[in-house]
Chain A
Amino acid sequence: MKFLCIDCDAQMTFSERAVPGDGTFAASFSCPSCGRRVAMLANEMETQLVGALGVKIGGRTLGEQPMELVRTTLDGRADAFVDEALQHTGSAATPPLPRSPQSRPEWSAEAQERLARVPGFVRGMVKRIYTDYAVERGITEISPEVMDRARTELGLEGM
Chain B
Amino acid sequence: MSFRTYNQVTGPDRSRLGEQVGQQRVRVAARLAGVKRVIAVMSGKGGVGKSYVTASLAIGAARHLAGKVGVVDADLKSPTVARLLDTRGPVRATEAGIHPPVSPHGVRVMSTAFLLDDGAPLAWREHPGERFVWRGVLETGALREFLSDVVWGTLDLLLIDLPPGADKLSDLAELVPNLTGAIAVTIPSDESHASVQRSMQAARQQGVSLLGVIENMSGYECDACAHTRPLFSGDAGAALAREFGVPLLARVPFRPTTAASPSPQPGVRDGDIERLVATLCPPDVTA
Chain A positions near chain B (C-beta within 8 angstroms): 1-2, 4, 6, 9, 11, 14, 23, 44-45, 47-50, 52-60, 64, 66-70, 72-77, 79-94, 96-97, 121, 124-125, 128, 158
Which B121-136 residues have a C-beta within 8 angstroms of A? Answer: 122-127, 129-130, 133-134
The answer to whether A93 and B30 have CB atoms under 8 Å apart is yes
**A50 contacts across to B, CB distance below 8 A:** 17
| Interchain Cβ contacts under 8 Å between A and B, 19 examples | A1-B17, A2-B9, A4-B4, A57-B15, A64-B24, A66-B149, A67-B98, A69-B141, A69-B142, A75-B125, A77-B117, A79-B90, A82-B90, A82-B91, A85-B95, A88-B94, A91-B97, A92-B30, A96-B95
A84 vs chain B, min Cβ distance (A): 5
Q: Quote the shortest CB–CB distance from A18 to chain B (angstroms).
A: 15
- Please tell me if B285 contacts chain A, counting CB pairs below 8 Å: no
Contact across chains for B115 and A76 when beta carbons are under 8 A apart = yes
Q: Which chain B residues numbered 170 to 205 have a C-beta less than 8 Å away from chain A?
A: none
Contact B11 A80 (CB under 8 A): no
Say yes or no: A64-B15 contact (C-beta < 8 A), given A70-B115, A89-B151, A125-B93. no
| Closest chain A residue to B8, Cβ basis | A4
Contact status B14-A14, CB under 8 Å = yes
Task: Verify if B16 is at the interface (C-beta below 8 Å from A).
Answer: yes
| Inter-subunit contact B145/A67 (CB<8 Å) | yes
Q: Is the CB of A52 within 8 A of B134?
A: yes
Q: Is the CB of A55 within 8 A of B21?
A: yes
Q: Is B225 close to A, CB under 8 A? A: no
Which residues of the partner chain B approach A82 to less than 8 Å between Cβ atoms?
90-93
Write the chain A residue with the least CB distance to B142: A70
B261 within 8 A of A: no
**Known A52-B137, A57-B17, A81-B90: A86·B11 in contact at CB below 8 Å:** no
A124 and B96 within 8 A (CB): no
Interchain CB contact under 8 A, B96 and A59: no
Q: Which chain A residues lie closer than 8 Å to B9 at the CB level?
A: 2, 4, 11
- The CA-CA distance from A97 to B96 in the complex, in Å, is 11
Are A75 and B124 neighbours in the complex by a CB distance under 8 Å?
yes
B3 touches A9 (CB 8 A): yes
Complexed CA–CA distance, A69 and B138 (Å)? 8
Interfacial chain A residues near B115, Cβ < 8 Å = 70, 74, 76-77, 80, 121
B93 touches A1 (CB 8 A): no
* Proximity string of chain B (21-37) to chain A, C-beta cutoff 8 Å, 1 when within and 0 when not: 10110110011000000
